[in-house]
Structure 1
Amino acid sequence: MQNVYVLSDIHGQGRAFFEMLEKIRFSPEDKLYIIGDVVDRGPDGIQLLEYIREQPNMELLMGNHEDMFLRTMDDEESWYETWIFNGGGVTLASLMSFPKKEQEQCIEFVRKLPLYRMITVENKRYLLVHAGIDAALGDSEDKISQMDRDNLLWIRREFFNAALACPYTVVFGHTPTGALLYYAGTLTEEAREQAAAFHITKWDHRIAIDCGAAYGENLGCLRLNDQEEFYIKI
């Protein structure tokens, strides 16, 4: 049986990522979805992009940091300072150390990343998306495909505090789970305990999996087949 894993927001933490692959005993038969933000803040973002690109059983989705990277590479000057402020300097320096052809291949890989994926594991449906959805616009797959790119990559409070009645669970990153205590007023007591520990946090059709790797906390990984959680301390 194929094991299906999800993680997000690696933020250049190569050691933690490869330790996680060992911990879950990731095999060629398994599948790993990475829900954005491989780059920035930590030192290994470009190397991780290159590694993931070469793996047939790994799929990377667009995160807001990949989006800032791409906008800057496309000479959208208004995004350069925002990207650098958010940890893009180490990614830019690393990219520039590669030969021009490899730089172009890396940029094209990022350009083609999907914004979301709808998958089914053990007869349960999951929407994988970096930040969340604008539930006010509807939650059908057709509505999601029409949502603004920035909402899918950046949304917080509006998604956390909306009432969801969708026939799937939204698995997302973007917001470190510890920060949900500030942003999400709908958390259950159990979810608050999970968030306070920077662990994977589950509540009301939502699973938050950014466990704060960018801030010295944890890299979290969830196996969707049986909901087992795995952690690597940064």
Structure 2
Amino acid sequence: MRPASPGVSARDASDHAGGAVPPPTLGEELGKIHRHIDVNRHENIYVVGDVHGCIDELHDLLAELELEEDDLVLFVGDLVRKGPDSRGVLEVVRSSGNMLSVRGNNEQKFLDGEEPADQLGDAVGYLESMPAAVTFGDAMVVHAGIDPRRALSEQTLRDLLETRAVPPENGYDGPFWFESYTGPLRVFFGHTVLSEPFATDWAVGLDTGCVHGGELTAYDCAAEEFVRVPARETYRHRDPADIVDYRADQ
């Protein structure tokens, strides 16, 4: 389990998710697949980590959240693959009026033809509608991260779907993008499997390896706290060396 250097404590929630903040300026590629959410239309916003077809754990987490009609649940992508019921997870999310997911690299595999679309039935059309980024207040939800060496307007779809280390070829050896990123938006992300979720001023990591026997994690933006449910089983083994131990409070 690779340790990472600690970050800083999270700022007050009003700094990140409150008020009428205009959408950020993104490049032409991402501007076409970006959604901006008006926070004033929702009582609370939750952001959920990588589900990877873990339908039972998704139901467990949603039960813990006790959603109201005017709440919003955002997902960091990778709803599909590896776990037992990708189609069922997609059906839960796409049939709900208060759930929205960004696109992950595993959704992109279906869109690029790397995975057979017939595995998902008519849910493939939903993948095509997924934005690459969702912004609300001065926060952004993406699947993997952003490259801290470039401005938001210079990020590409591949950056948002695959960024982990800087430089990218370092993979799980790091250093990780969130160790040097300093805004301007607070980024909620998955993709990098963590031993524990973390929240710093500028990044909130949510992939706690549910499909690998870890947990499914959500961040409650109003309460500034994590809500977590354990995996019911290990659906796919993962090498402990590829699980990042990042402690924001050390």
SS at match of 1:36: coil
Please report the RMSD computed on the Cα atoms of aligned residues, expressed in angstroms.
1.9
Task: Confirm or deny: 8 A CA contact 1:36 1:130 kept in the other structure.
Answer: yes
Shift in alpha-carbon separation, 1:219–1:161, aligned structure 2, 3 A: closer
Higher helix content, 1 or 2? 1
* 2:211 partner letter: A
Task: Confirm or deny: 8 A CA contact 2:79 2:86 kept in the other structure.
Answer: yes
Q: Give the deviation of 1:94 after TM superposition.
A: 4.5
1:1-234 to structure 2, matched below 5 A, reads 2-72=43-113, 79-80=114-115, 94-95=119-120, 103=121, 105-120=122-137, 125-139=138-152, 143=153, 146-158=154-166, 160=177, 163-177=180-194, 198-234=195-231
Q: Give the deviation of 1:138 after TM superposition.
A: 1.2
SS at match of 1:49: helix
SS at match of 1:10: coil
> Partners of 1:14 and 1:164 in 2: how far apart?
33
> Partners of 1:69 and 1:227 in 2: how far apart?
34
> Partners of 1:211 and 1:109 in 2: how far apart?
25
Superimposed CA distance per residue, residues 114-137 of structure 1 (whole angstroms, 9 cap, x where no aligned partner): 0001102xxxx2111100011212
SS at match of 2:146: coil
* 1:113 partner letter: M
> Partners of 2:111 and 2:185 in 1: how far apart?
30
> Partners of 2:93 and 2:179 in 1: how far apart?
33
SS at match of 1:40: coil
TM-score using structure 1 length:
0.72
TM-score using structure 2 length:
0.68
Task: Confirm or deny: 8 A CA contact 1:164 1:204 kept in the other structure.
Answer: no
- Matched residue pairs, number? 181
* 1:119 partner letter: F
Runs of 4+ in 1 over 6 A off after TM superposition: none
Gaps of 5+ in 2: 1-41, 167-175, 232-250
Q: Give the deviation of 1:71 after TM superposition.
A: 1.2
The corresponding residue for 1:84 is none
Superimposed CA distance per residue, residues 74-113 of structure 1 (whole angstroms, 9 cap, x where no aligned partner): xxxxx35xxxxxxx8xxx6743xxxxxxx2x311110111
> Partners of 1:107 and 1:135 in 2: how far apart?
32
Gaps of 5+ in 1: 73-78, 81-87, 96-102, 178-197
Q: Give the deviation of 1:151 after TM superposition.
A: 1.3
